[in-house]
Chains A and B, each alone.
Chain A
Amino acid sequence: MNKIVSKEYFSPNVVKFEVEAPLIAKARKAGHFVIVRVGAKGERIPLTIADADIEKGTITLVVQRMGVSSCRLCSLNEGDYITDLVGPLGQATHIENFGTVVCACGGVGTAPMLPIVKAMKEAGNKVITVQAARTKDLIILEEQMRKYSDELIIMTDDGSYGNKGLVTDGIEMVIQREKVDMCVTIGPAIMMKFVSLLTKKHDIPTIASLNTIMVDGTGMCGACRVTVGGKTKFVCVDGPEFDAHQVDFDEMMMRLGGYKDMEQEDMKKINN
Chain B
Amino acid sequence: MDNNSINNTNSIPPRRGESGGLPSWRVELRNKIKAKDRANIARVHMPELDPNVRNKNNEEVNLGLTAEMAMQEAQRCLDCANPTCMNGCPVSIDIPRFIKNIERGEFLEAAKVLKETSALPAVCGRVCPQEKQCEAQCIHLKMKKEAVAIGHLERFAADYERESGNISVPEVAPANGMKIAVVGSGPAGLSFAGDMAKYGYDVTVFEALHEIGGVLKYGIPEFRLPNDIVDVEIDNLRAMGVKFLNNIIVGKTISVDDLKEEGFNGVFVGSGAGLPRFMNCKGENLVGIMSSNEYLTRVNLMDAANYESDTPVFKGKNVAVIGGGNTAMDSVRTAKRLGAERAMIVYRRSEEEMPARLEEVKHAKEEGIEFLTLHNPIEYIGNERGQVKQMILQVMELGEPDESGRRSPVVVEGATKLIDVDEVIVSVGVSPNPLVPQSVKGLNVSKWGTIEVDKETMQSDVPMIFAGGDIVRGGATVILAMGDGRRAAKSMDNWLQSK
Tell me whether A and B are bound partners. Answer: yes
Q: Chain B nearest CB: distance from A118 CB in Å?
A: 21
Contacts of B288 in A (CB 8 A): 258
Q: Is B287 an interface residue (CB 8 A)?
A: yes
- In the complex, identify which listed stretch (B66-74, B130-138, B296-304, B359-367) lies at the interface while the others stay far away: B296-304
Q: Is B408 an interface residue (CB 8 A)?
A: no
- In the complex, identify which listed stretch (A86-94, A145-153, A164-172) lies at the interface while the others stay far away: A86-94
CA distance A219 to B278 in the complex (A): 13
Q: Is B254 an interface residue (CB 8 A)?
A: yes
Q: Do A88 and B274 touch across chains, with their CB atoms under 8 A apart? A: no
Q: Is B128 an interface residue (CB 8 A)?
A: no
Contacts of A262 in B (CB 8 A): 312
Contacts of B51 in A (CB 8 A): none
Residues in B245-288 with C-beta less than 8 Å from chain A: 246-249, 252-255, 274-276, 278, 280, 284-288
Q: Do B293 and A222 touch across chains, with their CB atoms under 8 A apart? A: yes
Question: B-facing mask of A34-68, CB < 8 A → 1, else 0?
Answer: 00010101111000000000000000000000001
Contacts of B302 in A (CB 8 A): 43-44, 215
B435 partner, pick from A43, A237, A263, A266, beta carbons under 8 A: A237
Contacts of B294 in A (CB 8 A): 215, 221-223
The CB with the most chain A CB atoms within 10 A, among B286, B302, B387, is that of B302
Q: Do A43 and B290 touch across chains, with their CB atoms under 8 A apart? A: no
Q: Do A220 and B293 touch across chains, with their CB atoms under 8 A apart? A: yes
The CB with the most chain B CB atoms within 10 A, among A69, A216, A266, is that of A216
Q: Do B435 and A41 touch across chains, with their CB atoms under 8 A apart? A: no
Residues in B209-261 with C-beta less than 8 Å from chain A: 209-210, 218, 246-249, 252-255
Q: Do B433 and A218 touch across chains, with their CB atoms under 8 A apart? A: yes
CA distance A146 to B288 in the complex (A): 43
Q: Do A85 and B247 touch across chains, with their CB atoms under 8 A apart? A: yes
Q: Do A232 and B285 touch across chains, with their CB atoms under 8 A apart? A: yes
Q: Is B306 an interface residue (CB 8 A)?
A: yes
Q: Is B3 an interface residue (CB 8 A)?
A: no
Contacts of B47 in A (CB 8 A): none
Residue ID in chain A nearest B435 by CB atoms: A218
Q: Decide yes or no: A88 and B252 within 8 Å by CB, A41-B306, A219-B434 being known contacts.
A: yes
Q: Is B40 an interface residue (CB 8 A)?
A: no
Q: Do A41 and B247 touch across chains, with their CB atoms under 8 A apart? A: no
B208 partner, pick from A1, A68, A72, A86, beta carbons under 8 A: A86
Q: Main secondary structure on chain A at its contact with chain B?
A: mixed
Q: Chain B nearest CB: distance from A45 CB in Å?
A: 9
Q: Do A84 and B210 touch across chains, with their CB atoms under 8 A apart? A: yes
Q: Is A24 an interface residue (CB 8 A)?
A: yes
Q: Is A173 an interface residue (CB 8 A)?
A: no
Q: Do B284 and A232 touch across chains, with their CB atoms under 8 A apart? A: yes
Q: Decide yes or no: A222 and B274 within 8 Å by CB, A69-B310, A254-B385 being known contacts.
A: no
Q: Do A257 and B275 touch across chains, with their CB atoms under 8 A apart? A: no
Question: B-facing mask of A76-88, CB < 8 A → 1, else 0?
Answer: 0000000111111
The CB with the most chain A CB atoms within 10 A, among B246, B253, B293, is that of B253
Interface size on A, residues (CB 8 A): 43
Question: B-facing mask of A255-270, CB < 8 A → 1, else 0?
Answer: 1011100110010010
CA distance A87 to B209 in the complex (A): 10
Contacts of A220 in B (CB 8 A): 218, 274-276, 293, 297, 433
Interface size on B, residues (CB 8 A): 42
Q: Do B310 and A23 touch across chains, with their CB atoms under 8 A apart? A: no
Question: A-facing mask of B295-338, CB < 8 A → 1, else 0?
Answer: 00110001100101111100000000000000000000000000
Q: Do A86 and B303 touch across chains, with their CB atoms under 8 A apart? A: no
Residues in A228-272 with C-beta less than 8 Å from chain B: 232, 237, 251, 254-255, 257-259, 262-263, 266, 269
Q: Chain B nearest CB: distance from A37 CB in Å?
A: 6
Contacts of A68 in B (CB 8 A): 310
A27 partner, pick from B254, B274, B308, beta carbons under 8 A: B254
Q: Do A89 and B287 touch across chains, with their CB atoms under 8 A apart? A: no
Contacts of A227 in B (CB 8 A): 285
Q: Is A225 an interface residue (CB 8 A)?
A: yes
CA distance A72 to B218 in the complex (A): 24
Q: Decide yes or no: A255 and B287 within 8 Å by CB, A218-B274, A237-B434 being known contacts.
A: yes
Question: A-facing mask of B416-442, CB < 8 A → 1, else 0?
Answer: 000000000000000001110000000
Q: Decide yes or no: A41 and B253 within 8 Å by CB, A218-B274, A220-B433, A262-B312 being known contacts.
A: no
Contacts of B291 in A (CB 8 A): 221-222
Q: Chain B nearest CB: distance from A242 CB in Å?
A: 15
CA distance A86 to B285 in the complex (A): 27
Contacts of A72 in B (CB 8 A): 310
Residues in A186-233 with C-beta less than 8 Å from chain B: 215-216, 218-223, 225-227, 232
Contacts of B209 in A (CB 8 A): 86, 216
CA distance A1 to B245 in the complex (A): 11
Q: Is B463 an interface residue (CB 8 A)?
A: no
Contacts of B387 in A (CB 8 A): 258
Residues of chain B having any CB pair with chain A under 8 Å: 208-210, 218, 246-249, 252-255, 274-276, 278, 280, 284-288, 290-291, 293-294, 297-298, 302-303, 306, 308-312, 385-387, 433-435
Q: List 27 A-B contacts (CB under 8 A).
A: A42-B310, A43-B311, A43-B312, A72-B310, A84-B210, A84-B246, A86-B248, A86-B253, A87-B249, A87-B252, A88-B252, A216-B208, A216-B209, A219-B434, A220-B218, A220-B275, A220-B293, A220-B433, A221-B293, A221-B294, A222-B276, A223-B294, A232-B280, A232-B285, A255-B285, A257-B386, A259-B312
Q: 17 extra interchain contacts, Cβ-Cβ under 8 A, other than A218-B208, A218-B249?
A: A23-B254, A27-B254, A41-B303, A41-B309, A44-B210, A89-B252, A215-B311, A216-B208, A221-B291, A223-B294, A232-B278, A232-B280, A232-B284, A237-B435, A257-B287, A266-B310, A266-B312
